[in-house]
Amino acid sequence: LYAAEHGGTFPSAANFEDELLLYSNASGGTSATKTGAFIYGPYLRAVPALPVGTKQGNSGVAAADGAGVGWIYDEDTGAITANCADSELSGSGRQWNEY
């Protein structure tokens, strides 16, 4: 929905949380309050904590691993994956970071 309302662009990695948790304008600028200029969103109430793996409980979103990062985000594709090592597997043997 964000991309549809923002000219086909995904939220930036640097401002991911603000762009999804606050109101935004067509160019991706954000505001805590809805106004005539900031008419889109919010898209999430909160970023959920990662429920699995060694980073379980972390809710940070970033382009690469770091302190508090639970989710890895690719701003070019919009893909969000679990911040889990390839060796961390679900009960069915699938890598958590492939879901």
- Total domains in the chain come to 2
Total-model pTM: 0.90
Q: Pick from 21, 56, 88, 4: which is nearest to 99 by CA?
A: 88
Residues 72 and 87 placed together within one structural domain of the fold: yes
Residues 76 and 96 placed together within one structural domain of the fold: yes
Residues 30 and 64 placed together within one structural domain of the fold: no
- Cα 70 to Cα 9, 17, 29, distances in angstroms: 23, 13, 24
d(CA 23, CA 92): 39
Residues 33 and 59 placed together within one structural domain of the fold: no
Find the domain containing 62 and state its range: 48-99
pLDDT one-digit tens code per residue, 31-90: 999 999 999 999 999 999 999 999 999 999 999 999 999 999 999 999 999 999 999 999
**pLDDT score at 21:** 98
**pLDDT score at 46:** 98
Residues 2 and 25 placed together within one structural domain of the fold: yes
